[in-house]
């Protein structure tokens, strides 16, 4: 364990030294600007396909920390931009790899590693240059193990933790994650989505939530009182009633599956979520936001799962120095969620070294399972943006009263992301 801690400390130190050694460079389009633009492309959160594509595309317009590397892929970037302008089809590719290891295990397995390759597409087919564009949006992906018998998504069970330490990093093979129509309405004041959607993209949205570029634990990214199903067929919509007040809601298949593209396999069993929120301006929704949300999920007869419902109160605020603070409260009934009560608080901050990001957060949860102690999850990370297209993140999680382990595991992680 000592050697493991030393290894992680060396990695973290190297990340910090590299970031301080590189002087802050002039940025043509800063992170706040990118989030403002991305917030207007979709009614979903920053991890949704449209928002992720827009953030990645705009980031390449700024000065790079490693311009030599970026120049090698400039031809591909230029081809993609011509394709987008000529046909309306925006294509992008990203690959993420995550390794996690724990100092405590209940099964003998203390490591997990997985990779995730994705093709994202947004094909604007209606009113391309107008105020109400309509697009077909899709994500094709492959999630796979990397050299170990376990993945980060499965590591929680090995270490006795009631939750997920590596959200989205499983071994599901090739899947069609989402495929839906996205339609802007009212001159961009609102939008509709219909098709195979990911409910997590539209539930309790705050501007820091993206498990591929930020925090990795489910309880930090989402309120643990929520029962969010996997992608499935559904509809959703959102609209700004004023420049500051907006409403959003979705209905989707309660039996959604990442691997099986089925039309409501359990019948009329639905997941419903709605929220009303405030933001200073429409393009500030990711940066500063406070909202009240409620959800209900029907009982799933074939799976033997009960119905549940709950309420969340969430908010975040971004200061001029690119410091974002955020907080969440949640209450639920039923036995399906991880927790019946939960509270989250934390911050993310861009220290001014290229596009590097620091994150610190904690979540307290009262489990629904009788006899389990209240659980606290701590997570901190430093993301080193090596270039416009390459990022390395060192991450540490401390799991106090994990649920099914007498110890309090310390989980160390290292994530690599490449996007094109």
Please name each of the domains of the chain with its CATH number: 2-419 (2.40.160.10)
Q: How many CA atoms lie within 13 A of 287 on its CB side?
A: 22
Calpha distance 190→402 (Å, rounded): 41
Beta strands in 152-307, from DSSP E residues, in sequence order? 173-185, 190-197, 232-240, 245-253, 270-278, 289-297
The pLDDT score that the predictor gives to residue 357 is 95
What one-character DSSP code corresponds to residue 161? Answer: B
Confidence at residue 41, expressed as pLDDT on a 0 to 100 scale: 87
d(CA 275, CA 250): 10
- Show Cβ contacts of residue 336 under 8 Å, excluding neighbours closer than 6 positions: 227, 297, 305, 306, 307, 308, 368
pLDDT value of position 300: 94
CB 403 within 8 A of CB 376: no
Query: What is the rounded CA–CA span in Å between residue 337 and residue 2?
Result: 36
Rounded to an integer, what distance in angstroms lies between the CA atom of residue 273 and that of residue 308? 12
Q: Which element (helix H / strand E) includes 27?
A: none
HSE of 374 in the Cβ direction (CA atoms, 13 Å)? 7
- Closest by CA position to 76, among listed 47, 48, 96, 56: 56
d(CA 339, CA 334): 10
- Residue 29: the pLDDT is 63
Closest by CA to 150, choosing from 103, 95, 104, 110, is 110
The neighbour count for residue 364, using CB atoms within 10 Å, is: 17
Q: For residue 26, what pLDDT is reported?
A: 37
Per-residue pLDDT tens digits of the chain, which is 420 residues long: 444 444 444 444 444 444 333 333 334 567 788 888 888 888 999 999 999 999 888 888 777 788 888 888 889 889 999 999 999 999 999 999 999 999 999 999 999 999 999 999 999 999 998 999 999 999 999 999 999 999 999 999 999 999 999 999 999 999 999 999 999 999 989 999 999 999 999 999 999 999 999 999 999 999 999 999 999 999 999 999 999 999 999 999 999 999 999 999 999 999 999 999 999 999 999 999 999 999 999 999 999 999 999 999 999 999 988 899 999 999 999 788 889 999 999 999 999 888 899 999 999 999 998 889 999 999 999 999 998 899 999 999 999 999 899 999 999 999 999 999
- 325/287 Cα distance (integer angstroms): 10
* 268 beta partners: none
Query: What pLDDT, on the 0 to 100 scale, is given for residue 23?
Result: 36
8 Å CB contact between 258 and 177 = yes
**pTM for this model (two decimals):** 0.89
- Residue 187: count of CB within 10 angstroms of its CB: 9
The answer to whether 198 touches 205, Cβ cutoff 8 Å, is no
Residue 309 CB partners (closer than 8 Å, separation 6+): 294, 295, 296, 297, 332, 333, 334
């Amino acid at each position: 364990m000592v050697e493991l801690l030393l290894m992680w400390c060396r990695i973290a130190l190297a990340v910090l030294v590299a970031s301080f050694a590189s002087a802050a460079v002039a940025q043509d389009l800063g992170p706040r600007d990118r989030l403002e633009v991305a917030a207007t492309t979709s009614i979903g959160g920053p991890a949704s396909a449209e928002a992720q594509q827009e953030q990645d595309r705009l980031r390449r317009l700024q000065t790079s920390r490693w311009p030599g590397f970026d120049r090698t892929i400039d031809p591909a970037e230029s081809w993609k931009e011509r394709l987008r302008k000529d046909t309306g089809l925006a294509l992008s590719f990203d690959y993420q790899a995550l390794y996690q290891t724990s100092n405590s295990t209940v099964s003998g397995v203390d490591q997990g590693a997985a990779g995730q390759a994705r093709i994202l597409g947004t094909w604007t087919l209606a009113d391309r240059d107008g105020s109400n564009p309509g697009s077909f949006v899709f994500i094709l992906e492959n999630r796979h193990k990397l050299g170990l018998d376990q993945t980060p998504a499965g590591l929680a069970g090995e270490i006795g933790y009631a939750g997920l330490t590596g959200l989205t990093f499983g071994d599901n093979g090739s899947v069609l994650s989402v495929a839906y129509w996205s339609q802007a309405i009212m001159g961009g004041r609102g939008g509709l989505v219909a098709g195979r959607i990911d409910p997590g993209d539209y539930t309790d949205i705050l501007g820091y939530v993206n498990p591929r570029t930020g925090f990795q634990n489910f309880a930090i990214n989402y309120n643990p009182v929520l029962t969010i199903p996997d992608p499935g067929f559904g509809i959703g919509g959102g609209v700004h009633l004023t420049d500051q007040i907006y409403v959003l809601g979705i209905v989707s298949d309660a039996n959604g599956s990442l691997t099986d593209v089925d039309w409501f396999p359990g019948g009329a069993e639905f997941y419903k979520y709605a929220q009303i929120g405030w933001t200073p301006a429409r393009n500030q929704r990711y940066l500063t936001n406070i909202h009240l949300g409620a959800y209900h999920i029907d009982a799933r007869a074939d799976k033997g799962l009960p119905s549940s419902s709950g309420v969340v109160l969430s908010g975040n605020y971004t200061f001029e120095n690119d410091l974002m603070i955020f907080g969440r409260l949640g209450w639920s009934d039923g036995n399906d969620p991880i927790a019946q009560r939960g509270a989250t608080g934390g911050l993310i901050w861009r220290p001014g070294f290229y596009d590097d990001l620091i994150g610190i957060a904690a979540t307290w949860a009262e489990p629904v399972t009788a006899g389990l102690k209240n659980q606290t999850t701590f997570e901190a990370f430093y993301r080193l943006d090596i270039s416009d297209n390459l990022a390395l993140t060192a991450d540490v999680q401390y799991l106090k009263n994990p649920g099914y382990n007498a110890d309090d595991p310390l989980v160390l992680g290292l994530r690599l992301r490449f996007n094109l």
